[in-house]
Chains A and B, each alone.
Chain A
Amino acid sequence: MKTKGLILVLLLVASQFSIAQNVDINGFARSYEGILYDNGDFGIIQQTLNLNFEKMGDKVAFKANPMLFLYNSDSLNFRMRELYLDLYFKNFDIRIGSQQVVWGKADGVFITDIVSPLNLTEFLLPDFDEIRKAVIATKIDYYLGNSTFEAIWIPTFTPTERPQPGSIWYVQPDFPAPPTWDLSKENITPSLENSEIFLKYTALTSDIDFEIMGAYTWDDNPTLHTEKQFALDTTTMQSKLVGLNITPQHHRLTIGGGSFSSEIKGVILRGEAAYYNGKYFLTEDPLELDGNVKKDYLHYLVGADFNIGSVKLSSQFIQQTILDYDENILNEKTENTMTFLARYDMLRETLHLELFSYIGLTNEDALIRPKVTYDFDDSFSILLGSNIFVGNSNGRFGQYKNNSMVYMKIKYSF
């Protein structure tokens, strides 16, 4: 409680300081409630205050983006979404601090967009501008005409954040025997040796925009190394699996890829691909003693944005393929997904209709997200929407069938 009080006091002091220093303050206050179709429970009750403190000069700038929130409780939480300093030079910029980095041309799909890990505590439901976590990094951008060379050094690894037991988004793993967890290798000590390096070249030209990237990073998701424990079944006189020692551990990944977008006769064509070298997958191969096998992996997307009348449409086809596949791997060799977006603005852009869907082609499941937003004025809007999970219960989306919901967001921007 003292900590929360201190946070509020610090924010008040920061606000006063900001006003005195002509720091630009903007942000939003939002109330967000969702009711599950399945049982009428409130699956989401969130109150959020998001603040941006920004000051920009010719040579230096800074941004602080604190967020205060009450999520499904009356307990106040605080997160510094970003806090960084920008230094501007003639041909290059340096950004130091806690920052979110977005790469690639895909929408709602993360292929080369791997610098900032994801916060998946609410699956993929948060707005795409809220789903990433900041990383503590130094980023250097060198500019040459309409090209940019970007280098990012991250000394402190930040993993993907996953839902915890108790959350409606937590999926209980299905183990064949009771697990015992060894978390001794889960964390990565910040050090030069354990740093992550990301490089990117971007060109923005008349005919095409493209990015080429490479990364020496950590897999944001830990590999679950599993040691099986057997005991003799005295009845059958055969050995029997009685337990699992599971050791989550992050491993190094080397990734290369790129993306492009271009316009052809009014249609924006987009593509993005990444090659992951040395990713671990769970396997049932008895020769793989710790239950994992290391394979290369290809993840790519093609998409198009176009208009029919005043309706804006966008669709993407995404494929994930495990190379040198063997049948014991638990994942499918190839997983295909599509996304579809339709958006229509009316009443002088005060009423917005939108339908966004993920469609799992391999597992025959989907997440369908219709929503209607009405802007009462330039600062105040109300959104009514629904998240509908359908299809195969083993699929990425179908597994959340019971979490289909209707929701409302009331937002005040300032």
Chain B
Amino acid sequence: MKTSKITTIILAIIFAGGFSVQLFAQKMTAREIIEKVYNRPEGDDQTSDLTMTLINKSGKERIRKIKQFTKEIGDMEKSIMFFLSPADVKNTSFMNWSYDDDNKNDDQWIYLPALKKTKRISSDSKSDFFMGSDFTYDDLGDRKLDDDTHKLLREETIDGVEYYVIESIPKDEDYMYTKTITWIRKDNFIGLKKEFFDEDEELLKILSIKKFEKISGFWVITNSEMKNIQKNHRTTMVLDNVQINTSISDSKFTERMMMRGM
């Protein structure tokens, strides 16, 4: 998992904002469009409060609250999350270091306060669900541009907003999704919707962006929802108190802070 991307509900629904692409739109390939999405500027560091609400098919809610910090340090991105609720995971913390080098796996640790122990954990559990939500660790992580083959299916106008509709098919045949389809706004390269298809190529989940804001000059997705169509449950993610470029100290991303807490 790459937690910084949690803050923006990464999932390729991100976008590089700012400049008009209308003049170049016709010339762009699907890969170039996705590259614009993936390379959205995020700032050097970010702090936020994440509230994740798990809603089952009968409408019952379970809430998880997390405080998270992210920073680009050299050729890596470090992030740390402190779990605030529910009670049985309070003071648990999670740290992730991810690398620009595509060949290097993330390093991940979890601190369990009851065990008083920081444990290195495998970053190989990408299809596991994050805290029982509808987001897998990989949904929240940094998918590499060339992990998928991208194809521009069509262009659509919905409620007056123009979109590219891009299909992405994983090169790894064993990947948990057989394909994804993303609706990306032409004006600012924000993806507002993404569909995930299971191994039978049936629609499995839909990610919808409910709200995005410009904070300190950077686009941040602050409200999103992942809905499991087949099981009829969903998860919402809301970001509050987002702060960007506040010069977080490197020492925030250490075992000392995992154990001490915020």
Contact = CB atoms under 8 A, between A and B. Distances in A.
Secondary structure of the B contact surface, majority rule = mixed
A102 B114 CA distance: 10
Interface residues of A, number: 45
Nearest to B60: A377
Contact of B87 (A267, A310, A378): A378
Interface string A80-121: 000000101000010000001110010000000000000000
Given A143-B256, A148-B256, A349-B132, A378 B122 contact: no
Contact of B116 (A86, A101, A148, A263): A101
Interface in B71-95: 85-88, 90
A100 B117 CA distance: 11
Contacts of B87: 26, 28, 378-379, 413-414
Contacts of A349: 129, 131-132
Contacts of A268: 120-122
Contacts of A263: 105, 107, 120, 122-123
A235 to B, nearest CB: 61
B125 interface: yes
Interface string B107-133: 101001011111111111101110111
Interface residues of B, number: 40
Nearest to B254: A146
Contact of A93 (B90, B109, B256): B256
A128 B86 contact: no
A141 B90 CA distance: 23
Interface in A169-191: none
Interface in B206-255: 233, 251, 254-255
Interface string A245-264: 00000000000000001110
A307 B125 contact: yes
A88 B256 CA distance: 11
A166 interface: no
B189 interface: no
B63 interface: yes
A348 interface: yes
Given A26-B90, A378-B62, A266 B124 contact: yes
A93 B120 CA distance: 23
B107 A206 contact: yes
A129 interface: yes
B97 interface: yes
A202 B54 contact: no
14 contacts: A56-B260, A61-B260, A105-B119, A127-B114, A129-B116, A143-B251, A204-B118, A206-B97, A206-B107, A209-B109, A266-B123, A310-B125, A348-B54, A348-B129
Q: What are the 3 tightest A-B residue pairs by CB atom distance, in nearest-first order?
A: A266-B124, A349-B132, A378-B86
Given A56-B261, A129-B114, A143-B256, 4 more contacts: A204-B109, A305-B122, A348-B233, A413-B88
